[in-house]
Amino acid sequence: MEHAYGILMMVFAVALWLYALALSSGNYGLVLRGHATKPRDKKAYARYVGKIVAFVAIAPFASGLISMFGDINIMIWPSLAVLIGGTAGLLIFAVKKFDDGQEKED
């Protein structure tokens, strides 16, 4: 049970990568409807969301990996900092870096 957090975070990251892989095929039906806009090119938008999900999945994987390097009572704080800060930072970076090909409507 000592490494349960790390294993769970890594499994979650792999699940996110599998979801991103499914989105990269252009299947717009997999994009969550409550958060989706009405894009002009649905396949390109699904690929765009897939790239962002794959990029953001790095944070939980890194958090789980960090938690495995020592006593969990000590390593939980750096792990949580990487999880929270990394998720926020990577999400902001990914949204700015990847272009979905959609023109902004004024």
Domain ranges within the chain, ordered by starting residue:
4-22+41-97
Q: For 47-81, how does the pLDDT look when each residue is reduced to its tens digit (9 = 90+)?
A: 888 888 999 999 999 999 999 988 888 888 999 99
Look at residue 77 and give its three-state secondary structure: helix
Average pLDDT in the 74-98 region? 90
Q: What is the pLDDT of residue 30?
A: 82
Whether this model's pTM surpasses 0.85: no
Asked whether the predicted pLDDT for residue 16 surpasses 60, the reply is yes
Span between the terminal Cα atoms of the chain, in Å: 53
Q: What is the pLDDT of residue 102?
A: 55
Cβ neighbors of 43 (< 8 A, separation 6 or more) are 26, 28
